[in-house]
Structure 1
Amino acid sequence: MSSAVLDQVPHIVSLFPSLSDISLEDWSAEGIAIVKFQPSHVIEEGHFLQHAVLLLEGTVRMFKISGSGREVTLYRIHSGECCPLMMASILGESEYEASACTEEPGVALAIPVYVFRDWMDRYKSFRQFIFKMFAKRLIIMSNLLDSINFKSIRGRIAEFIVQMTEDGATSLDMTHGTMSIELGTAREVISRTLKSLENEGLLRLSRGRIYQIKRQELKKYIEL
């Protein structure tokens, strides 16, 4: 094990308590490394992964691109989490079925796939952690599918804006194109719906910005 990893083990375990049972001998396996990444680094769908990645710092956005080129955000991974789709491809020895994009500078623990599989087999707490990640993201994915299939675009946009301003902010810096990616719909649909909401006096629009947001009024459009 490199000194960089050795020095970081207490911090790693604080973020991933399920790794507390890992022996020093197992931590010494060849190929375990601390890696740094910069914003906009992309891991594309379809690759066979060589490492499992546990995020120590930063944010990674998971997304899919349809055959027509439309992009939709699936979920985000934050410090102390891992990507279940990544783990599934490793355990199933299959191609990575999503793409990942780093949104800010970050740090991750990279574990060679053979080590990851071995730890999954031998360490119950680590295996339970991975299964919990699967369950958590499965619920998020189910909610996303329900939203896309059963909620109106007006309700989805209202819900998204309210969620993005949970701190009580009355403005949101975001382009229509970015919102279309987050919600998995066409930019033109986003623009048309936002303009309709503006005409109703629920918000104001400028380039790359939504302001004078009336959160309470928008909540009336959120569909349960």
Structure 2
Amino acid sequence: MKKDIEQFIDKFKKFNLSKEDLDTVISNVKIMEFKKGDDVIINKNSCQGFIYVLKGNLRAYAISATGKEITVFNLNSGDECLLCANCITDNLQLELNLQANKDTKILLLHSSYFSVLKDKYPSIASFVVELLSIRLASAIKVMAQALFTPITQRIIDFLKQNVTNNQIQITHEILASHLGTAREVVSRILKDMEKENLIKLERGKIIILNL
């Protein structure tokens, strides 16, 4: 636990915080753990603050009025999350959910502390803008792909980006959620790809043959 917190504190040392403020961070940072499939943050208003991912993976996704999901970005080990924190701005009307894609451990600094630091240190305010830009660029890319890239190509791109040892542990339903489409559409395209010997389908698994 001490090593985890030290890793988090190293992130803040570059902002040249006063000893008092650094002690405040040390005293108030929390370690939180989630199992695969756990919902981490329900929406913007329930977000508690600045997140740093120690290990695992978090999927940030939006839900449409019809209940369809689409992945906006992923957070891996070493990534920070501010877009899901209400400490950025009260006027940012985004509702994103966070879900653990695998067993995940994060460090969290409550927004009441992080907001004070952001207002006090210009370097932290600049850091917030930089991270916000990265997340918005990712969101714009995802939306552009959803609008202009054929779903077959989006599935191929997703498989290539997430393959490990020539396979991906994923269901058709979860894959559809990542891409913001229907499970039936994903299943049909995957079966066509299997007929073309591009992939092999197994229960909860996709084996990559020739993509």
* TM score, norm. by length of structure 2: 0.84
The equivalent residue for 1:41 is 38
The equivalent residue for 2:130 is 132
For residues 55 and 169 of structure 2, what CA distance do their matches in structure 1 show?
A: 24
Alignment pair present for 1:151 and 2:146? no
Q: More strand per residue: 1 or 2?
A: 2
Picking from 51, 54, 59, the partner of 1:53 is 51
The equivalent residue for 1:183 is 179
The equivalent residue for 1:219 is none
Equivalent residues of 1:51, 1:113 under 8 A apart: yes
For residues 180 and 190 of structure 2, what CA distance do their matches in structure 1 show?
A: 15
Deviation (angstroms), 1:20 = 4.7
Deviation (angstroms), 1:35 = 1.7
Q: Which amino acid aligns with 1:143?
A: K
Picking from 107, 110, 124, the partner of 1:109 is 107
Deviation (angstroms), 1:17 = 5.5
For residues 120 and 53 of structure 1, what CA distance do their matches in structure 2 show?
A: 14
Query: For residues 59-74 of structure 1, what are the structure 2 equivalents within 5 Å?
Result: 59-74=57-72
Change (3 A) 1:209 1:17: same
Kindly tell me the number of residue pairs found equivalent between the two proteins: 207
- In the TM superposition, what whole-angstrom CA distance separates every residue of 1:127-174 from its partner, at most 9, and x where no partner exists? 222222112112211111111000111111111112223x6x433222
For residues 181 and 49 of structure 2, what CA distance do their matches in structure 1 show?
A: 32
Equivalent residues of 1:13, 1:19 under 8 A apart: no
The equivalent residue for 1:24 is 19
Change (3 A) 1:136 1:124: same
Equivalent residues of 1:19, 1:126 under 8 A apart: no
* TM score, norm. by length of structure 1: 0.79
The equivalent residue for 1:209 is 205
For residues 61 and 160 of structure 1, what CA distance do their matches in structure 2 show?
A: 14
RMSD of Structure 2 on Structure 1 (CA): 2.6
Q: Which protein shows a greater Rg? A: 1
Structure 1: stretches of 5+ with no match in the other structure: 216-224
Structure 2: stretches of 5+ with no match in the other structure: none
Change (3 A) 1:178 1:29: same
Equivalent residues of 1:18, 1:126 under 8 A apart: no
